[in-house]
A and B are shown apart, each in its own frame.
Chain A
Amino acid sequence: MITVLFFAKLSEQLGVKSLQVDWQQAQDVDQLFQYLTEYKKEWSVTLTSQPCLRAVNQEMVTNNIKLKAGDEVAFFPPVTGG
């Protein structure tokens, strides 16, 4: 399984903080993102209408990368700390 995490505004809009996705559905980050846009009816708009950053195993990624079972993938809005 892949552990998917959402944070901040994104998590609030989707109404979920985390979920488990079968690795077969998500062999790379782009495929996982695509799967999530189809997970629930309104998710497509929420996920694609705003900037959404990605991290794999707690490291920010900008390119599509391969996933393996047990990976943790997070999606979140641009950061606003400091």
Chain B
Amino acid sequence: MISVQQQDFNQQSEYERLRCQSSIGAIVTFTGLVRDINDGYSVSDLCLEHYPGMTEKSLMNIVEQAKSRWNIIASTVIHRVGQLSINDQIVFVGIASQHRGDAFAACEFIMDYLKTEAPFWKKETMESGESKWVDARESDHKTRSKWVM
């Protein structure tokens, strides 16, 4: 399941949705939140812009790549867009597999690729009231490069 949405998501319902088959032996989930400090300055809220259409395609493509590398029985990727506040949930990735190795790896792979390929952009509003587009991090590209076969 892939969803790009404004509304919040519920961890428990997403987990229960993944727990759908008797062959599942492991579920790994990741949740990204809005942090109050970025690059040393205080953040008061966040606005997430995306490229409707391409975003969904890009997430689907990332999940397909993960499915071709690991045994995945069920998967969920939810990414929120629009106005978010400190501590709000931004992104959820959940992977159900037979074994934990596949679930851990696929979950991390999807997040690493999402960070560098899916067309989302964050604009932070600082406590001063000033707003600023977040710059991409070189470290995210380095992290992703470890998956290149």
Judged by a CB distance under 8 angstroms, whether B32 is at the interface is yes
Interface string of B28-59 (1 = CB under 8 A from A): 00001000000000000000111101100110
Number of interface residues of A (CB under 8 A): 18
B56's nearest neighbour on chain A, judged by CB, is A58
Q: Is A58 a contact partner of B50 (Cβ separation < 8 A)?
A: no
Main secondary structure of the interface of B (DSSP, over half): mixed
Q: Using Cβ atoms and an 8 Å threshold, which residues of chain B touch A81?
A: 48, 50, 79, 90-91, 114-115, 118-122
In the complex, how many angstroms separate the beta carbon of A14 from the nearest chain B beta carbon?
Answer: 14
In the complex, how many angstroms separate the beta carbon of B99 from the nearest chain A beta carbon?
Answer: 25
B118's nearest neighbour on chain A, judged by CB, is A81
Judged by a CB distance under 8 angstroms, whether B130 is at the interface is no
Q: Which 4 A-B pairs have the closest CB atoms?
A: A81-B120, A78-B136, A8-B121, A58-B54
Task: List chain B positions with a Cβ less than 8 A from chain A.
Answer: 32, 48-51, 53-54, 57-58, 79, 90-91, 111, 114-123, 133-136
Task: List chain A positions with a Cβ less than 8 A from chain B.
Answer: 5, 7-9, 12, 51, 55, 58-60, 74, 76-82
